């Protein structure tokens, strides 16, 4: 399915215009709604990270769970939090602390051999939120992975036929936001036939009115 960058740019502009000025910088959010899509079918349950051409105007926080040399590398690469195996084990049974972890950090990565422990301790909270860590080998280029996260969003279809994600802020250039939308739509298109299942594309600011693509 082909999308027109100019039309998407106009959509973003209209969403900005329909939004009253607030005393904070509002996010710009994208809603992709589907019709006739069986969300119970495993192939339609999307949960993936999409790299965007432009940052979304938000401080993306990354947590790395590691051991050995990867701890040092993750800290040097600017990870917002680095947990060792010992740190991880201190979260066991502390659901409140795990929830705070899930709410604070946008993306998680964990050394491959720690994934079983991560799943046992953090899985019950991170799993339903679609935030289970990406497994990385001890020799991974953690620097490039963290840089990728900084320019990414997670898209999910769970129990409703809708994808919602942040694709910018009201201070950003409208064309840049539209290019981010194109990246998200392209990622969805690789999984779902939009010409068959797309119902609507909507953009809105945090406190603004939803504006639909015409």
Helix (H) or strand (E) holding 5: helix 5-17
Could you tell me the sign of the dihedral formed by the alpha carbons of 105, 107, 113, 115, in that order?
positive
User: What's the Cα-to-Cα distance from 1 to each of 85, 87, 161, 193, rounded to whole Å?
Assistant: 46, 47, 18, 8
In terms of pTM, does the model score above 0.85? Answer: yes
For the stretch 160-208, pLDDT in tens is 999 999 999 999 999 999 999 999 999 999 999 999 999 999 999 999 9
Spatial distance between the Cα atoms of 198 and 131, rounded to a whole number of angstroms: 26
Average pLDDT of the chain to the nearest whole number = 94
3-class secondary-structure state, position 98: helix
Closest CA to 80 of 112, 107, 117: 107
Q: 128: pLDDT confidence band, cut at 50, 70 and 90? A: very high
Average pLDDT over residues 5-29: 93
CA 80 – CA 171 distance, rounded (Å): 25
pLDDT of amino acid 20: 86
- 210, 32 contact by CB (below 8 A): no
Pairing of strands 27-34, 162-169: antiparallel
Whether residue 1 has pLDDT greater than 90 = no
Name the pLDDT band for 58 (thresholds 50, 70, 90): confident
Q: Which domains does the chain have, with CATH numbers?
A: 5-57+151-212 (3.30.190.20), 62-150 (3.40.50.790)
Percentage of residues in the chain having pLDDT higher than 90: 89
Rounded Cα gap, residues 162 and 46, in angstroms? 10
């Amino acid at each position: 399915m082909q999308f027109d960058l100019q039309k998407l740019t106009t959509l973003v502009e209209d969403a900005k215009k329909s939004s009253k000025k607030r005393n904070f910088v509002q996010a710009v959010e994208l809603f992709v709604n589907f019709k006739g899509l069986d969300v119970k079918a495993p192939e339609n349950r999307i949960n993936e990270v999409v790299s965007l051409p432009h940052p979304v105007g938000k401080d993306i926080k990354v947590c790395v769970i590691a051991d050995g040399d990867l701890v040092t590398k993750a800290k040097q690469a600017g990870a917002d939090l680095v947990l060792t195996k010992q740190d991880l084990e201190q979260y066991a049974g502390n659901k409140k602390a795990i929830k705070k972890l899930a709410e604070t950090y946008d993306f998680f990565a964990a050394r491959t051999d720690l994934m079983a422990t991560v799943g046992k301790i953090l899985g019950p909270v991170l799993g339903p939120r679609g935030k289970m860590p990406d497994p990385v080998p001890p020799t991974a280029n953690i620097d490039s992975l963290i840089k990728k996260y900084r320019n990414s969003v997670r898209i999910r279809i769970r129990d409703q036929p809708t994808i919602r994600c942040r694709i910018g802020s009201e201070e950003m250039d409208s064309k840049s936001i539209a290019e981010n939308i194109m990246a998200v739509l392209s990622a969805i298109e690789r999984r779902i036939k939009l010409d068959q299942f797309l119902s609507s594309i909507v953009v809105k600011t945090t406190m603004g009115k939803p504006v639909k693509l015409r």
